[in-house]
Amino acid sequence: MENPKRPRGRPATGRQRTKMLGARFTDEEIKTIKELAKKNNMTIPDFILYKIQKDD
C-alpha cells in the first residue's frame, strides 16, 4: 500500500506580493540584517518590512 504524496514547499502565506526590489549591501550590513531578523524570529523580507512600517 502506497502512502499518499505530501505537498512540498512551505504553505502559502496569502500575501499578494508580485513585485521584486533589489538592493546592494556591504558584508557587514548583511550580517547585521540577518542577525536582527533571526533575533526577532523573522525572515529577512518580513524584518525589513516590519522596520519600514514601524518607523513610518
Average pLDDT value for the chain: 89
Question: How would residue 1 be classed by pLDDT, with cut points 50, 70 and 90?
Answer: low
Domain boundaries, the chain: 25-56
Please tell me the pTM assigned to this model.
0.67
Say if CB 44 and CB 34 are below 8 A apart.
yes
pLDDT tens digits, one per residue of 14-27: 778 889 999 999 99
The alpha carbon dihedral of 12, 14, 20, 24 has a sign of: negative
pLDDT tens digits, one per residue of 27-47: 999 999 999 999 999 999 999
Which spans in the chain are helix H? 27-39, 44-55
Give the pLDDT score at 56. 65
